[in-house]
A and B are shown apart, each in its own frame.
Chain A
């Protein structure tokens, strides 16, 4: 149970950096629209698994970084990630007891909520983006989550033992 141990900051920083690089990597537009939400997924994973260290504040700062890199209004991704993190924090105890696929049932609405917040703020800011493929990343995230979370957990376990 890695939630009771302190995982080395190196692995956490490395996995978050890796997910950020994947998020920023230039891809053809048609593929980029379906790019999974690697960075939010990784942040939320560590918020879920390291309850004594990470919470809403870290998610917010991580989101602000995304805002600067994306050139979106400062606070857009911050707010969306903070709200998603809050949901994860509240559900943390339940999530720990679930298998990865069951976790997905709880996390999928959270990812969808994250994407909806971005969509909503874009709308309020006058940046129309009502396109159906806006929701594709939620599905691709659902596909990679079991693999990615298992991988992160494996790495973390290797290190705390």
Chain B
């Protein structure tokens, strides 16, 4: 029995990693598991419901509308800090500042992965909304993560703090480029590649450098919380705290920008992207 089970597990894991061969079995088991997921989310939902019950529905609707509007505005504003200092550095070279008027869309977080070693979330926007793999997610305070897989109506995103995630950043004060990696803790990033003589201080703001082409440049990522140099080591041990409220908010913004869009259609507008997709499909 054990032998059979071990071999079956290994075969299934390789099949699962290689593609979608196990999808029928997955969906069958997911049906079994669905009631448990519902039951597990009941306590939190009940609290939410009770909170809302005592409010007036009109107030709620208005509040929600204002919150979304506020989030959108903050999303556009947050680049200013970085643009300001960049302007100072580059004014002589750069004739005009880059436009920060990027297209954004609000997405709700449907669920987050219960496995504490995978920082993933599921969003309620998908291919039909023009979402694409590699698209950046932000919230009111900074970068949240990026989209890793897209289904027709939903998508999955990986958060900055996932241990397998790295993001190219620059230190806003000096312009030093480096990479911030996730640690698996919700409030910590590490910067493992800063040489021991790098100019970095506690409190420094890290912003996206936009170098890898995935994230739009100039969005805040994290604040440096600790800088430690062990004599004899080539690199500093630097940790930083993400500025975005990871794992707390329910809404995030999807950003369409010129650097990251795979097709020209996608960066003009999501609805156009969806339309052109529909046109091209038979």
A-side interface residues toward B, CB under 8 Å?
17, 20-26, 28-30, 32-33, 35, 55-57, 60, 64-65, 67-76, 78-79, 82-83, 86, 121-122, 125-129, 131, 134
Interface residues on B, range: 35 or more
Report whether A78 and B9 are in contact in the complex, using a CB–CB cutoff of 8 Å: yes
Report whether B1 and A68 are in contact in the complex, using a CB–CB cutoff of 8 Å: no
Q: Which residue of B lies closest to A86 (CB)?
A: B2
For this complex, 12 residue pairs linking A to B, each with C-beta atoms less than 8 Å apart, are A21-B39, A21-B40, A30-B185, A35-B116, A68-B26, A70-B115, A72-B115, A73-B13, A79-B9, A83-B2, A122-B117, A126-B164
Residues on B with C-beta less than 8 A from A131 are 117, 163, 183-184
**Which of the residues A71, A82, A121 comes within 8 Å of B115, measured between beta carbons?**
A71
Report whether B164 and A128 are in contact in the complex, using a CB–CB cutoff of 8 Å: yes
Q: Which residue of A lies closest to B163 (CB)?
A: A128
Report whether B36 and A17 are in contact in the complex, using a CB–CB cutoff of 8 Å: yes
Report whether B13 and A29 are in contact in the complex, using a CB–CB cutoff of 8 Å: no
Q: Which residue of B lies closest to A34 (CB)?
A: B116
User: In the bound complex, how far is the Cα of B183 from the Cα of A17, in angstroms?
Assistant: 32
User: Ordered nearest first, which 9 A-B pairs have the shortest CB separation?
Assistant: A24-B40, A79-B9, A75-B9, A75-B12, A29-B186, A68-B29, A129-B117, A75-B13, A70-B115
Report whether B5 and A56 are in contact in the complex, using a CB–CB cutoff of 8 Å: yes
Q: Which residue of B lies closest to A68 (CB)?
A: B29
| Min CB gap B186→A, angstroms | 4
Residues on B with C-beta less than 8 A from A32 are 114, 116
Report whether B44 and A79 are in contact in the complex, using a CB–CB cutoff of 8 Å: no
Known contacts A22-B40, A122-B117; 18 additional CB pairs below 8 A are A21-B39, A21-B40, A26-B40, A26-B41, A29-B247, A55-B1, A56-B5, A57-B1, A60-B5, A69-B33, A70-B118, A71-B115, A71-B120, A72-B115, A78-B5, A129-B163, A131-B117, A131-B163
